[in-house]
Amino acid sequence: EIVLTQSPGTLSLSPGQRATLSCRASQSVSSSYLAWYHQKPGQAPRLLIYGASSRATGIADRFSGSGSGTDFTLTISRLEPEDFAVYYCQQYGGSSWTFGQGTKVEIK
């Protein structure tokens, strides 16, 4: 089973700042099968990025994804108030899906 480790656990930033979130896999992941979600309290997760770098429908271009192999990054270029949430990476491999433990982006 591939384990995804996200860092940092919590990111304290101000609106307008840049956020950089990391997702590291215990073994190589196909870039095609790496996705990012965000989740606000009381809501279901929402897909942001799929295929490591493709934005989902309706997602603002301040969100971007990059990486390959075992290291992937989600970048939010300028934080908006609605971006403060928990972010999860997710991978598929070998008929199994796993999520990272999440990074909370909070208002500083």
Partner 1 sequence: QVQLQESGPGLVRPSETLSLICTVSGYSLSSGYYWGWIRQPPGKGLEWIGTVYYIGSTYYNPSLRSRVTISLDTSKNQFSLNLSYVTAADTAVYFCARILTGPYHFDSWGQGTLVTVSS
Using CB under 8 A as the binding rule, whether residue 99 contacts partner 1 is answered as yes
Minimum CB–partner distance for residue 36 and partner 1 (Å): 9
Minimum CB–partner distance for residue 16 and partner 1 (Å): 28
Show contacts with partner 1 in window 10-39 (CB under 8 A): 32-33, 35, 37, 39
Rounded Cα–Cα distance for residues 55 and 108 (Å): 27
Rounded Cα–Cα distance for residues 29 and 101 (Å): 17
Q: Which of 3, 5, 82, 97 binds partner 1 (CB under 8 A)?
A: 97
Rounded Cα–Cα distance for residues 100 and 91 (Å): 9
Rounded Cα–Cα distance for residues 73 and 41 (Å): 23
Q: Which of 8, 15, 51, 69 binds partner 1 (CB under 8 A)?
A: 51
Rounded Cα–Cα distance for residues 5 and 94 (Å): 18
Contact residues for partner 1 (CB under 8 A)? 1, 32-33, 35, 37, 39, 43-47, 50-51, 56, 88, 90, 92, 95-102
